[in-house]
Amino acid sequence: MSARCSRGFTLAETLVVVALLSMIVFSSWPLWDQTQRVLQQISVALRQSDFELAAARLRADVQGAHALAAGRSEWSAEPLELREPEGRAVRLGLRDGALERLELGPTGVVVARRVLFTGLLEWRWRAVSPRLVDIEATHAAEADIRPAVPHVLGKPRTAPRVTVRLRLALRGAGGGRSW
């Protein structure tokens, strides 16, 4: 082996490599930034469509019910229980950040359990009248699919919140199927 091969790299060679690598990183930064923005837009769109599906299920449950188990004129975070024909019921409520739908048999035993939406921050409802229900739900606008970056320039990153308000009528209120 020659003496030159055993010495390693010179300072100039190392600086050239570092300069080339930094040029590659800085030139790819706009692409990385654009990718993150597209991911955020996709995340927001997916969360919105997921919540729209949950709202459609809520609407179907409320409109299909004949009565409320307990009508409250004040806002309540307790589960909303809707009475159906033949003594069955549907209970909708928040459990560990998920909107949960329970189907109850005539004896009050849980027959089926389904999670309609995850990532719910708040849930509340009130009975405006015996046959009219207001539902309010708040969720994060985007799912957390990006790498966690807790602070950017010393400011904590907070996900935007979306609050959805629904006013739904029970079909047993005399409006029939035309509502």
Of the candidates 145, 120, 146, 147, the residue with the CA atom closest to the CA atom of residue 135: 120
pLDDT at residue number 155: 52
Q: Count of CB atoms within 10 A of residue 50's CB?
A: 16
- What are the tens digits of pLDDT across the range 15-55? 999 999 999 988 988 888 888 888 877 877 777 778 888 88
The confidence score (pLDDT) of residue 22 equals: 92
User: Which pLDDT score is estimated for 107?
Assistant: 86
pLDDT at 64: 81
> Which stretches of the chain drop beneath a pLDDT of 70?
1-6, 142-159, 172-179
Residues with Cβ within 8 Å of 103's Cβ and at least 6 positions away in sequence, in order, are 88, 89, 90, 110, 111, 112, 113
What the block records as the tokens of 116 is: 């309609």
The residues spanned by each domain of the chain are 10-178
